[in-house]
Amino acid sequence: MLLNNIVLRNFRNYVDCEVSFSKPVNLIIGGNAQGKTSLLEAIYFLCTAESHRATRDGELIRHNEAGFYLRGTLGNSSNDVMSLEAMKRTRGQFKLKKNGVLQTKRSEWIGQFNAVLFSPESLVLVKGGPAERRRFLDLLISQIDSTYLKNLQKYRLVLRQRNELLKQIRTTFVDAVQLDVWDKLLIAHGAAIIIKRLEIFHQLKAYAMQNHQKLTGGKENLALTYCSTLEESEIGFLETKTETEIAKDFDVALNASRGADLQRGTTLVGPHRDDFLIELENAEARTYGSQGQQRTIALALKLAELELIRTVTGQDPIVLLDDVTSELDYKRTEYLLNVLQNLSAQTFITATHAEPLVHHLNQPNVLTVENAQINHTPETNFK
């Protein structure tokens, strides 16, 4: 489905704004701090029920206001229309509505309206720690597999309980045998998470390497390797194993780590501590890649996410690209624009200047943003 329009009320710096999107490609132009990124954030929030920038919903409320409200209308070629609403009051609960019906859980929202976002914050995929890359994988897989999301939620709950018990054993001398019950549950959900991550990572890796080749003109070689705490070395050996075999490996690893877990008061092995290694020309990109190279890798991963969602669901996600050409040289920008031009997905692109984007994109819908006010600008104004 395509986003036809969106309403923003007291969201970030927006007071009351409504904007329609008449074309698949939307180019959003404006200076810094005018509201470009906030518009993309609002679209992303409607699709995923979370922000890529805020840690709390309250941060999204305009200063000194009582709450925010978002409404989006989506439609398809069959003239089916869907209404999405998100609202949060300063002292009230967060609410989501689909076609006017209140949704009881955020988790039920995930995967219904897929979106892929690239922003300056996406660089943490390369520059950040393992938690950022795990979060990327978890959100991606959760959008396309509800069973994975349920296993992930149950695993996190069991992990919290096990860690609490570890602390109690250390301080009050509770019988450590009680860990056996939590270990069985942790292994069951953890093995399911690992096997699904391996399956999706294998596909993601192929798409990311292909996109990276396009973005660099084949001049740089990207390598991605999933790494697990179940083994001291890379997880390549586990790629050929069944879920049952991985569960046995997890059991062995937990038993071997129990002494250290008790000493530290936390669980040291499992998918909650996994990572994937990103290398460029056989060197770790996090340490040795330039800013432009790191940005290109993050973009390749995001484009791979798009292709994977499309392949699995049969539908294009909404694509949101914030300040996408910043710190890319002319060649990389040219390759990127060629890739964007061939996308069939509805795309939203922000930039401080229309050039060179407007001339490389086929009849984009050009919007200008100033002081959180959005206006349509004829493409001819840039010729």
Among the three residues 288, 314, 340, which one is the final residue of a domain in this structure? 314
- Per-residue model confidence as pLDDT tens digits over 211-224: 999 888 889 999 99
| Same-domain status, 55 and 196 | no
pLDDT for the residue numbered 298: 94
With DSSP H G I counted as helix, E B as strand and the rest as coil, what are the percentages for the chain, rounded to 5?
50, 25, 30
Among the three residues 258, 284, 314, which one is the final residue of a domain in this structure? 314
Pairing of β 347-351 and β 25-29: parallel
| Same-domain status, 132 and 261 | yes
Please report how the helices 291-313 and 330-341 are oriented relative to each other, as an axis angle in degrees rounded to 10: 10
Count how many domains the chain has. 2
* Residue 6, beta-bridge partner list: 19, 72
What number is the average pLDDT over the span 114-131? 92
Please indicate whether residue 175 or residue 383 has the higher confidence score (pLDDT).
175
341: which residues sit within 8 A by CB, 6+ positions away?
360, 361, 362
| Same-domain status, 290 and 156 | yes
Q: Which pLDDT band, with edges at 50, 70 and 90, does 237 fall under?
A: low
233: which residues sit within 8 A by CB, 6+ positions away?
none
Sheet of 25-29, strands arranged across: 115-118, 318-321, 347-351, 25-29, 365-370, 373-377
pLDDT for the residue numbered 380: 57
- Per-residue model confidence as pLDDT tens digits over 293-305: 999 999 999 999 9
Residue 336: name the closest of 316, 352, 360, 354 by CA. Answer: 360
The residue written with tokens 């990276």 in the block is 212
235 has a pLDDT exceeding 60: no
| Same-domain status, 107 and 170 | no
| Same-domain status, 219 and 155 | yes
pLDDT for the residue numbered 381: 62
For a pLDDT cut of 70, what percent of the chain falls above it?
A: 96
Measured CA to CA, the distance from residue 199 to residue 195 in angstroms comes to 6
- Per-residue model confidence as pLDDT tens digits over 96-111: 999 999 988 877 788 8
Sign of CA dihedral 14, 16, 17, 18: positive
| Same-domain status, 148 and 288 | yes
Among the three residues 291, 314, 337, which one is the final residue of a domain in this structure? 314
- pTM > 0.75: yes or no: yes
Sign of CA dihedral 342, 289, 141, 118: negative
| Same-domain status, 351 and 290 | no
CATH number of the domain that residue 273 is part of:
1.20.1050.90
CATH number of the domain that residue 355 is part of:
3.40.50.300
| Same-domain status, 298 and 342 | no
What number is the average pLDDT over the span 132-138? 95
- The CA–CA distances, whole Å, from 348 to 39, 135, 175 equal 10, 23, 56
Cβ contact 300:215 at 8 Å: yes
| Same-domain status, 106 and 153 | no
Structural domain for 288, as ranges: 120-314
| Same-domain status, 154 and 303 | yes
| Same-domain status, 55 and 139 | no
| Same-domain status, 196 and 88 | no
Longest dimension (CA), the chain: 76
Q: Determine the distance from the C-alpha atom of residue 336 to the mean position of all C-alpha atoms in its chain, rounded to a whole number.
A: 20
For a pLDDT cut of 90, what percent of the chain falls above it?
A: 60
